[in-house]
C-alpha cells in the first residue's frame, strides 16, 4: 500500500460507526436507498485546506471518504455532475451523505491506495510508472475536456493512485464550463499565468489544465513540490515571478523529450500549449 500523510502520525487508526442523515437538497438519481451506517477510520490519511480523506467500509466494500465542512445545498449540483462521470481515469463517486453531527458532507468513493503526492513522497514510482501516471492523468483530462469542462485544480494531491500504480483524477468540485471559469481559482503553484493576470479580457479555457499538467510533469520528474526552493511570503510574489517567466525546475538528467513536453505545456501563451490529445500522442510511444 502507498503510505499517505497521516494526521496524528504515530497513532493507530481506529474504526468508528457513524450514522448519516439523508440530505434534503440532494440531486435526483445520486443518492440510492442504502444503509445509513458506514465504518470509517478515525484518523484521516490525507488532509488539504478544505477537506479530509478517510478510509472506511460502505455496504461491505472498501472505500475512501472525502469530508467537506459544508452543508451548502449548492454542493449537490457539483456532486450530480461528478456522479455522471464514467471513466476509468476518474475516481468513481459511489454516494454522498450529510453528517448531521459535524455539519459536513461525506463523499464516498471507490477505494484507492493514496494520493500521487504521497506516492512521490515515498519514492514508490519508477520512471516508467511515472510516465504511465502522466498518461493516465492526460486521459482523465481528455475525458473531462470532452464533457466541455475545465478541471481547474489539477495537482498531485488531487490525483489518486491504485494498487497497480494507475492514476485517476479526483477533486472535481471545481470543474466548470470554460465560460464560467473564475480567475484565481485553483492552487497557486499550478495556476496558469492567465489565471493570475487580473485581466478581465483574458479568455480562460482548457489550456489552464494543460499548464497545470506541465507543472505536474516537473513534479513527477523531481519529486519536489513546485517552487519549494523559493522563499515566497505570499502567493502574489510567486505569481509575479511566474508572470516574469519562472517555471518549476527539472532534473539535469531529464530526457529531452520529457523536458520539451513539460516546457511546452507551461508556455506563457495558452495558444502555444499542446492540447491534451497531442500530449497523449507524445506520451504513448514512451511506454512501448
CB 243 within 8 A of CB 193: yes
Grid coordinates representing 90? Answer: 476518474
CB 98 within 8 A of CB 19: no
- How many whole angstroms separate alpha carbon 202 and alpha carbon 269? 11
Grid coordinates representing 66? Answer: 472525502
171 is known as an active-site residue: yes
Grid coordinates representing 127? Answer: 520512471
Query: Residue 97 half-sphere exposure, CB side, CA atoms within 13 Å?
Result: 22
* Residue 99 to residues 1, 36, 66, 73, 89, Cα–Cα distance (Å): 28, 10, 12, 14, 28
DSSP letters spanning 224-247? SPTTTTS--SSHHHHHHHHHTT--
* Residue 245 to residues 8, 191, 230, 266, Cα–Cα distance (Å): 39, 13, 15, 10
The catalytic residue among 99, 136, 171, 173 is 171
Active site residues: 171
Amino acid at each position: 500500500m502507498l503510505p499517505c500523510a497521516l494526521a496524528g502520525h504515530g497513532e493507530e487508526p481506529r474504526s468508528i460507526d457513524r450514522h448519516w442523515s439523508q440530505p434534503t437538497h440532494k440531486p435526483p438519481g445520486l443518492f440510492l436507498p442504502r444503509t445509513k451506517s458506514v465504518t470509517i477510520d478515525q484518523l484521516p490519511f490525507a488532509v488539504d485546506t478544505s477537506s479530509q480523506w478517510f478510509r472506511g467500509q460502505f455496504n461491505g466494500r472498501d472505500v475512501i471518504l472525502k469530508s467537506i465542512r459544508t452543508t451548502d445545498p449548492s454542493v449537490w449540483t457539483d456532486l450530480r455532475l461528478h456522479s455522471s462521470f464514467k471513466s476509468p481515469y476518474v475516481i468513481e463517486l459511489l454516494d454522498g451523505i450529510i453528517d448531521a453531527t459535524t455539519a459536513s458532507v461525506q463523499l464516498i468513493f471507490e477505494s484507492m491506495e493514496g494520493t500521487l503526492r504521497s506516492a512521490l513522497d515515498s519514492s514508490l514510482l519508477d520512471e516508467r510508472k511515472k510516465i504511465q501516471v502522466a498518461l493516465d492523468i492526460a486521459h482523465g483530462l481528455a475525458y473531462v475536456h470532452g464533457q466541455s469542462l475545465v478541471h481547474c485544480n489539477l495537482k498531485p494531491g488531487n490525483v489518486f493512485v491504485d494498487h497497480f500504480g494507475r492514476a485517476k483524477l479526483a477533486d472535481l468540485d471545481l470543474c466548470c464550463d470554460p465560460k464560467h471559469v473564475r480567475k484565481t481559482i485553483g492552487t497557486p503553484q499550478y495556476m496558469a499565468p492567465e489565471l493570475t493576470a487580473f485581466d478581465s479580457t483574458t479568455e480562460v479555457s482548457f489550456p489552464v489544465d494543460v499548464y497545470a499538467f506541465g507543472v505536474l510533469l516537473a513534479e513527477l520528474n523531481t519529486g519536489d513540490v513546485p517552487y519549494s526552493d523559493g522563499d515566497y511570503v505570499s502567493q502574489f510574489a510567486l505569481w509575479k515571478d511566474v508572470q516574469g517567466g519562472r517555471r518549476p525546475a527539472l532534473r539535469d538528467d531529464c530526457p529531452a523529450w520529457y523536458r520539451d513536453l513539460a516546457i511546452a505545456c507551461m508556455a506563457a501563451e495558452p495558444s502555444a500549449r499542446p492540447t491534451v490529445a497531442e500530449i497523449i500522442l507524445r506520451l504513448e510511444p514512451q511506454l512501448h
